[in-house]
Amino acid sequence: MRPRFRHVAFSILGLAVLAQLVPYGRRHSNPPIVAEPAWDTRTTRDLAVTACFDCHSNQTHWPWYSHVAPFSWLVQRDVDRGRAALNFSEWHQRPSKAVDALPTLCEGAMPPAPYRRTHALARLTLREKELLYDGFARTLSGVNEFQASEPALHPEPGDGGSGRGGF
């Protein structure tokens, strides 16, 4: 190894090790679920769980890289921002901006591209996006046809039909 390359490589490694000492982004929490929306259908909820809940609920699944800086910083920031903007687990404090989520779904801004790249199930088909958009619009307007007998979209063995499928 050339001396200059070795110096750069060890400097980067040293910075990566030092970054682990920064306390932000590794103390993950999932506060209690206070209240969810009265979903219009189970399908809408399942799609929201698949595409939205990791950042917009208190049911975040923290992947392994969310414990390693600097990725942990980015994941924590995204979850903090997502929960502040719209939190499906604290619907009793339903944000006045909840309706603003509809255009972001329609424009394809949510879920964000970096999230979709690392979470295959969040890559919704056009039909799934339409179902989520329409269902969320009905949920916001108070239309509720939710039937407990409706099957989960992406059931995972042993998850009780919660739709967390694969997360």
Inside any domain, residue 160: no
Inside any domain, residue 34: yes
pLDDT at site 50: 92
- Give the Cα separation of 24 and 20 in Å (integer): 9
Inside any domain, residue 38: yes
pLDDT at site 164: 35
Using pLDDT thresholds of 50, 70 and 90, give the confidence band for residue 17. low
Domain count, the chain: 1
Inside any domain, residue 44: yes
| Pure H helices in the chain | 3-19, 42-51, 53-56, 71-85, 101-107, 113-118, 126-141
Domain with 44, as residue range(s), is 3-141
- Give the Cα separation of 6 and 33 in Å (integer): 50
- Read off the pLDDT of residues 83-116 as tens digits, 9 standing for 90 and up: 988 999 998 876 667 878 888 887 888 888 888 8
Inside any domain, residue 156: no
